[in-house]
Amino acid sequence: MMRGAPGLGNGASDRAGTLRGGRFAFQPMAEFPSAMGPRTGTCLVVGASSGIGLALARRLALSGRKVAMLARRERELAAQAATTNDVLGRQAAFAFAHDAADLDAVESLFARIEQDLGPVDEVHFVAGVMPDVAIDEFDLGKDRLQVQVNMLGCIAWGNAAARRFLARKSGCFVGVSSVAGDRGRVGRPVYNASKAGMDCYLEALRNRLWRHGVQVTTIRPGFVETPMTAGLKLKGAIPADKAAELILRVRDRRKAVAYVPGKWRLIMTVIKLIPSFLFRRLSI
Amino acid sequence: MTDTKATGAAALSWRDEDVRGFGMAVGGRAQVLRPTTAEQVAAAFADARARGKPIALRGAGCSYGDAATNDGGLVLDLSRMNRLLDFDPATGVAVCEPGVTVRDLWRRSVAHGFWPRVVSGTMAVSMGGAAAMNIHGKNNFALGSFGECVRSFELLTPRGELVRCTRASDPDLFHAAIGGFGMLGCMTQLEIETKRVHSGRLRVSAIVAKDLEHNLQILEDMRGEADYLVSWLDLHARGAGLGRGLMHRADHLEPGEDPEGLRFLDPALQDVPPNLFGVVPKGWLWPGMWCAVHAGQVGLVNWLKFQAGFAEARKSPYLQTHGAFHFLLDYVPRWQWMTKPGGLIQFQPFVPAAAGARVLRTVIEKSQAAGHVPYLGVLKRHRPDPFLMTHAVDGYSLAMDFAVSARKAQRESLWRLCRELAEVVLAAGGRFYYAKDAVLLASSFPRVHGEPAVAAFRAQKAKWDPDRLLQTDLSRRLDV
């Protein structure tokens, strides 16, 4: 009943065609044609224990890459890396416990990962926090954490990657921001601000590195079914695996900024056009 | 303590509601309360005691019959005690409140590569209900019943004691409360084991079975190696094709066998498909099915489904997600409404293997002769389990869904038929399952389980609920 997602080249292979001798023969996915040539280096995913980060790490591992999975929750992360390797039947995922708020640890951890797994040519920054904030709450603790993880975390990993990618004149940095960064809204002021800051940083980083052959891609996801959004009842949310598929497609097309799924570009264009005096009176 | 209880009880807001079984054919008005904490459950017990009214426990309300109804009494609906308190991603052990559903559990576990060991045909079932009714799945012949994957539970007795119980701490209570249809106390917390899976998908094969004996033969041939076996039966077929159907076998995959299965660990990809044939929204299907039932065309629908089985058998084996394979009853939301206004009952005899072919054939023939042909039949293989009020046998079960007529004479003739069939089953040493039953008489209760088991269960009841506060329509019907 479930069909393979298009774009993975596996749609038809779900059927009996792949059955040989009672086992499912696995053909590695064909790489997308890419200006960068075949991707062979190690991938690094920050925020890989659940949601979009986990889905990305799984898809990268599935495509034959070595994946360094980073997340704060050590127990979850170790289990997810083990599960990934178990299902694949080979060692593709490697767990590194890391709190994205711990900015000073980034440089040495990056070096350690490259030492253990070889040069990293692709970094996905997907870590993010979105605490519940009451409409009349102004809690600096929660705000500081969001800026620390969502924005400064991205900057720390972006800088560490940029130094290396610049020296090698290649590499790809994907930052998962949010549609929430496009406007300041009443619900989560600092989530909006942290994502907007991250988004702006990514644009600047892209402009610095583009001329040196280094790709920086900003992803602005709309509604995605993840543990972070579990309590929100989002209408029309897409599976995290679908989001990961779209993100990797955007990566292959070397886009600068992409909404995931694409319809959010239209929605956010309209929302961005609403004048401020009107926007503050709306409940969106 | 007395103070908090008094205020707790005063704050309880019982609501007068029509409480029915899933089949809608039995039930009645009751005062319903939906607690969110164990303290509120204790307060509700105290309140029931003070008012001298019997109280029934209800989970997700998926029992077909009267196991969770209490005509004129009180009903404690536990569906809002639905927090999944912990899930260990390394071992797959979950700690749940009783209202956590099979859906809540698999959505959490599958993301970590675990699947509940025992699931029913619908994911709406609650953990508390699953343990109290000791439900089974399509792997009963291999892994046993739901109770066998329960590590421990906390039982709040009607007298307000909270007892933590494991197999070792109190084996008598453990094996009586699981499968004890909510007669001993309210499980306020359960520790459930899940099973490691090496893919988000199963390998599924469909096999056309030409008659009842062929079906049973396939079950016997495959039960040593298959992980799941279930057969859909076209009970409208007579003569040489009596008991024909479509067997589904599913197997777990080995590590590395289906690397793509990694993606399907995303819970959002496990849900049953939202549309049938890619276009028809499922919510629109039950009126069409209602027409088939009320125009007497169920035989035609069954014939079409059987014919479609040949095409499915040709493309077998294929890969299917766990969710899509297991939760067939969730493909069509509110499907039970097709039997409105009379509702439906399910009659599910469990028959020892030696007498299986003879008894099941008799049961099908008698129901056809009486003019009450089940619109759905499901055949499964079982094995015994260690629980006191078990329904399991080393043999087969045939679940038969009967639409109930709104006309009184027709309804009574269906009940007469089921009791006549029950005689045949009991005479052969068969058993019944209280999540389904709506027709057994008090005289049958000791015959299902044997006098010693019934005496032991009554002793447990007297020990934990001496005032018989916990009652349901089922327990009164069986004179438990």
User: B256–A239: do the CB atoms touch at under 8 Å?
Assistant: no
In this complex, the residue of B256, B269, B319 whose CB is nearest that of residue A88 is B256
Q: Closest Cα of chain A to B355: distance in Å?
A: 35
User: Which among A24, A54, A76 is the top mutation candidate for probing chain B, defined by the most B β-carbons within 10 Å of its own β-carbon?
Assistant: A24
Q: What is the pTM of this model?
A: 0.90
Write out pLDDT tens, residues B270-283. Answer: 987 777 666 777 77
As a whole number of angstroms, the distance between CA B238 and CA B101 comes to 39
Give how far the C-alpha of residue B309 lies from the chain's centroid of Cα atoms, to the nearest Å.
Answer: 25
As a whole number of angstroms, the distance between CA B163 and CA B173 comes to 10
In this complex, the residue of A4, A23, A76 whose CB is nearest that of residue B260 is A4
Q: What is the mean pLDDT of residues B90-116?
A: 97
Task: Please choose, from the candidates B412, B441, B479, B339, the residue with its C-alpha nearest in 3D space to the C-alpha of residue B20.
Answer: B339
pLDDT band at residue A9 under the 50/70/90 scheme = very low
Percent share of chain B, pLDDT over 70: 97
b/e per residue, A160-176, with b = 16+ CB within 10 A? Answer: bbbebbeeeebbbbbbb
pLDDT band at residue A38 under the 50/70/90 scheme = low
User: What domains are defined for chain B?
Assistant: 2-79+460-478 (3.30.43.10)
Note whether B470 and B158 are within 8 A (CB): yes
Q: What is the mean pLDDT of residues B366-378?
A: 95
Q: Is B274 an 8 Å CB contact of chain A?
A: no
Percent share of chain B, pLDDT over 90: 90
Contacts of A6 (CB under 8 A, 6+ apart): none
N- to C-terminal Cα separation, chain A: 37
A245: nearest CA partner in chain B: B263
Residues on A contacting B at a C-beta cutoff of 8 Å: 1-2, 4-5, 8, 10, 13-16, 19, 23-24, 26, 50, 54-55, 58-59, 61-62, 75-76, 78-80, 82-84, 86-90, 225, 238-242
User: Edge-to-edge strand order for the sheet containing B74-77?
Assistant: B15-20, B27-33, B74-77, B55-58
User: A54–B264: do the CB atoms touch at under 8 Å?
Assistant: no
Q: Closest Cα of chain B to A132: distance in Å?
A: 18
In chain A, what residues touch B266 (CB-CB under 8 Å)? 55, 239-241
Neighbours of B49 (CB within 10 A): 16
Write out pLDDT tens, residues B236-271. Answer: 999 999 999 999 999 999 999 999 999 999 999 998
pLDDT at A40: 81
Q: What is the mean pLDDT of residues B369-394?
A: 96
Q: Which two tokens stand for residue B294?
A: 């009320």
Write out pLDDT tens, residues B309-325. Answer: 999 999 999 999 999 99
Q: What is the mean pLDDT of residues B455-475?
A: 97
User: A16–B318: do the CB atoms touch at under 8 Å?
Assistant: yes
As a whole number of angstroms, the distance between CA B188 and CA B180 comes to 15
For residue B317, the SS3 value is: coil
As a whole number of angstroms, the distance between CA B208 and CA A209 comes to 62
How high is the mean pLDDT of chain B?
A: 94
Single-letter amino acid, residue B16: D
Write out pLDDT tens, residues A246-258. Answer: 999 999 999 999 9
Q: Is B279 an 8 Å CB contact of chain A?
A: no
User: What domains are defined for chain A?
Assistant: 39-279 (3.40.50.720)
Helices (H), B111-236: 127-133, 140-143, 171-177, 212-222
In this complex, the residue of B198, B254, B264 whose CB is nearest that of residue A2 is B264
Give how far the C-alpha of residue A75 lies from the chain's centroid of Cα atoms, to the nearest Å.
Answer: 21
Omega before A28 within 30 of 0, i.e. cis? no
pLDDT at A18: 40
User: B90–A75: do the CB atoms touch at under 8 Å?
Assistant: yes
Percent share of chain A, pLDDT over 90: 81
Q: Is residue B448 over pLDDT 60?
A: yes
In this complex, the residue of A1, A76, A225 whose CB is nearest that of residue B324 is A1
Write out pLDDT tens, residues B217-232. Answer: 999 999 999 999 999 9
Write out pLDDT tens, residues A266-275. Answer: 999 999 999 9
User: In degrees, to the nearest 5, what angle opens at C-alpha B18 toward C-alphas B13 and B23?
Assistant: 135
User: Which among B87, B201, B319 is the top mutation candidate for probing chain A, defined by the most A β-carbons within 10 Å of its own β-carbon?
Assistant: B319
B110: nearest CA partner in chain A: A83
User: B255–A86: do the CB atoms touch at under 8 Å?
Assistant: yes
Note whether B429 and B352 are within 8 A (CB): yes
Q: Closest Cα of chain B to A68: distance in Å?
A: 17
Q: Closest Cα of chain B to A31: distance in Å?
A: 15
Lowest mean pLDDT among A12-26, A113-127, B44-58, B163-177: A12-26
User: B260–A10: do the CB atoms touch at under 8 Å?
Assistant: yes
Q: A179: which DSSP letter?
A: G
Note whether B253 and B203 are within 8 A (CB): yes
User: In degrees, to the nearest 5, what angle opens at C-alpha B191 toward C-alphas B185 and B195?
Assistant: 135
Task: Please choose, from the candidates B120, B117, B108, the residue with its C-alpha nearest in 3D space to the C-alpha of residue B142.
Answer: B117
pLDDT at B331: 85
User: B317–A19: do the CB atoms touch at under 8 Å?
Assistant: yes
Q: B353: which DSSP letter?
A: H
Task: Please choose, from the candidates B428, B48, B264, the residue with its C-alpha nearest in 3D space to the C-alpha of residue A5.
Answer: B264
**DSSP letter string, A211-252:** GGT-EEEEEEE-SEESGGGGGG--TTPEEHHHHHHHHHHHHH
User: B260–A88: do the CB atoms touch at under 8 Å?
Assistant: no
